[in-house]
Amino acid sequence: MYDAKAYTYRVFWSEEDKEFVGSVAEFPYLSFLDANQHKAFDGIIDAVANVLKLYAEDSDIPPEPLGKKTYSGKLSLRLTPEQHKKAAMQAAEAGVSINKLLASKI
């Protein structure tokens, strides 16, 4: 089982809720709200810890933390012909490959 602290968290202000929202990339359905930014962070970590316990109780495999995954560096991307043309023109104008242009946008 993974440690809850190994997951990818962020805390942001919600104008709608007038509170901070703690979220976790690997469990997009989970969030924790609090008026205190640090408590929102601690709360979402606790929520993930509880979910991980449920996974363990059910003998299920939880999502792997993004930080533990390995990536090849290769990405297949589908574009419309118009987007492809636009990217090719921008890359040519910048004097770089389409790959380099798109990678710089990330």
Q: Which residues pair with 14 in a beta bridge?
A: 19
Where are the domain boundaries for CATH 3.30.160 in the chain? 4-67
**For residue 45, what are its two tokens?**
């970590």
Q: Which CATH number fits domain 4-67: 3.30.160, 3.30.60, 3.30.230, 3.90.380?
A: 3.30.160
Task: Please tell me the pTM assigned to this model.
Answer: 0.76
- Per residue in 29-78, pLDDT (tens digit) is 999 999 999 999 999 999 999 999 999 999 999 999 999 999 999 999 99
Residue 54: φ, ψ to 5° = -65, -40
What string of DSSP letters covers 43-94? HHHHHHHHHHHHHHHTTPPPPPPGGG----S-------HHHHHHHHHHHHHH
Distance of alpha carbon 8 from the chain centroid: 7
Q: Residue 1: its pLDDT value, please? A: 82
Residue 63: φ, ψ to 5° = -60, 145
Spatial distance between the Cα atoms of 53 and 32, rounded to a whole number of angstroms: 17
pLDDT confidence of 10, banded at 50, 70, 90? very high
